Amino acid sequence: MPNLLTDYDVLGFDADHCVVKYNTTPLVEMLVESELDELIEMGYPKAIKNFFFQESPLEMCVNGAIYDIDNGLVVKLVEGQEVARAMRGWRNLSQKEIKEIYGNPPILKSYVWPNTSNLSGKRGSYWVCITFFDTPKVALVLSAIEMMDQGLLKGKTYFDVAEDIRTIIYNNYIHFSEKEVKKIGSYGRFFPTIVENPAKYIQFQPSLRKSIQKLKDNGKRLFLATNSHTEYSNLIMTATLGDDWKDFFDIVCCYCRKPLFFWDIKTDPFFELDQSKANQKGKAIVDQSELKQGTTYTQGNSRILTEYFKRVLQKEDIRVAFFGDQYISDVYSSSLNENWDAFAVVEEMNHYDDRYCEGVSPLLMKYEQYWGESYFIEKSLDGKRIKKNYFISQVEDCARYMLPLMKNINLMMGDSDI
């Protein structure tokens, strides 16, 4: 097991579903209900909400599903991009049906790692549902296709469904543009719901506070890198660590546009915050010497950030650990940086040892009703062959370590007997 106190000089953290532990099941249920209501407002039949009358309906919302737009199916992959399970509407396909569509062995040939979507509208389109903000899309897709199959939704294609869901996402989450950052309290449905009662959806984490403080006390440099913008970042981090949360971090990077933050193809400058401007963008910073301790920025890139920490540590060969939950934009992408190690937060690990929860229920999502008894592996019908979940196998290739919850970093500092 890695030792964070001896192996690294700098530690970076994602916010949502990483440092910030949402009560996952209530969150997903709220999102599904809200977004189904929006589909109804867009002209979808009210019967689409019969989703909630299915057996254990939220278990359809599996993390790491792919909407195969060509075939109107949601699929779960294992190693080799093999389709292990598939759903059409509110029912599972048999292995025979899966092989008739994808061949034997059944391979989803259209998906290309590490992409998260191909919404070109052409042959080979797909949409990957990773993170618990994404998994409600599974319910929306399956319910829309169920309405199609029942003859209650006409004039829509599988791609139209994806486009309608993308519209919902923009209407609820993208409250910022190059011109303006809008206040979250009145934007869409998602943000006002969280603003009204953060404690209902977000867990306060005193043990994580203690662990982060221990890292600082041992001379570690810390940063936050989140795709959330400044107002929402402050809300969720306050709910997680308290009003003084910024004191833990040397640098806070909001709206950092991961995975672009980690890529050297096109690097964004850091922007100082200027609340007097509609887009909050102040001075653009392209040199590490202008970054300031204890400051919040937007955008930025990992190259300038690394150079900044080299300067303040007066050390050329620094080691960086980055913790995130999104398999592609956090884990894979951060691992591409030289001398950076990726750490993946995989909540599903809690199903196998509840000691990681430290007596606080993580209100986890379950998938067994529709996607098999194990999130991590699939057995062949004869039980002789085992294949790993496709995205977990990719994470194993690029991450140094996986942990169930962010507060379990205490295991990597000698603070637990688990």
At residue 391, does pLDDT exceed 80?
Answer: yes
The residue that leads in pLDDT, 363 or 96, is 96
Question: Which pLDDT does position 415 carry in this prediction?
Answer: 66
CA distances from 210 to 239, 245, 362 (A): 15, 12, 19
pLDDT in tens, 373-388: 999 999 876 667 899 9
Name the β-bridge partners of 252: 224, 296
**Spatial distance between the Cα atoms of 284 and 273, rounded to a whole number of angstroms:** 10
pLDDT in tens, 143-168: 999 999 999 999 999 999 999 999 99
**pLDDT, average across residues 69-98:** 97
158-173 helix and 24-41 helix, angle to the nearest 10 degrees: 110
**pLDDT, average across residues 205-209:** 96
Pure H helices in 81-130: 95-102
The residue that leads in pLDDT, 359 or 226, is 226
Residues of the chain with CATH 3.40.50.1000: 4-22+202-362+401-413
Q: What is the largest CA-CA distance in the chain?
A: 67
Q: Which of helix, strand or coil describes residue 137? A: helix
At residue 418, does pLDDT exceed 60?
Answer: no
At residue 53, does pLDDT exceed 90?
Answer: yes
Q: DSSP states of 185-250 as a string?
A: GGSTTHHHHHHH-HHHHB---HHHHHHHHHHHHTT-EEEEE-SS-HHHHHHHHHHHH-TTGGGG-S
Question: Which pLDDT does position 416 carry in this prediction?
Answer: 59
158-173 helix and 136-149 helix, angle to the nearest 10 degrees: 140
Q: Which of helix, strand or coil describes residue 88? A: strand
Question: Which pLDDT does position 62 carry in this prediction?
Answer: 98
Cα-Cα-Cα-Cα torsion 191, 263, 287, 281, nearest 10 degrees, comes to -20
**Spatial distance between the Cα atoms of 22 and 364, rounded to a whole number of angstroms:** 9
Give the number of other CB atoms < 10 A from CB of residue 155: 7
Pick the CATH number of 4-22+202-362+401-413 from 3.40.50.1000, 3.40.50.2300, 3.40.50.620, 3.40.50.880: 3.40.50.1000
**pLDDT, average across residues 396-418:** 89
Question: Which pLDDT does position 381 carry in this prediction?
Answer: 60
The mean pLDDT value of the chain amounts to 96
**pLDDT, average across residues 299-328:** 97
Question: Which pLDDT does position 295 carry in this prediction?
Answer: 98
SS (H, E, C) 361-384: CCCCCCCHHHHCCCCCEEECCCCC
Q: How confident is the model at residue 266 (pLDDT cuts 50, 70, 90)?
A: confident
Contacts of residue 197, defined as CB under 8 A and 6 or more positions apart, other chains included, come to none
Q: How confident is the model at residue 356 (pLDDT cuts 50, 70, 90)?
A: confident
At residue 174, does pLDDT exceed 60?
Answer: yes
At residue 318, does pLDDT exceed 60?
Answer: yes
Q: How confident is the model at residue 84 (pLDDT cuts 50, 70, 90)?
A: very high
The residue to which tokens 């981090």 are assigned = 237
**Spatial distance between the Cα atoms of 36 and 156, rounded to a whole number of angstroms:** 16
> What percent of the chain is predicted at pLDDT more than 90?
93
**pLDDT, average across residues 192-196:** 98
Question: Which pLDDT does position 417 carry in this prediction?
Answer: 55
Question: Which pLDDT does position 308 carry in this prediction?
Answer: 98
Give the number of other CB atoms < 10 A from CB of residue 239: 22
**Spatial distance between the Cα atoms of 333 and 227, rounded to a whole number of angstroms:** 14
**Spatial distance between the Cα atoms of 147 and 218, rounded to a whole number of angstroms:** 57
The residue to which tokens 């993170």 are assigned = 131
Question: Which pLDDT does position 411 carry in this prediction?
Answer: 93
CA distances from 369 to 58, 91, 109 (A): 9, 11, 27
Closest CA to 26 of 193, 170, 273: 193
**pLDDT, average across residues 196-218:** 97
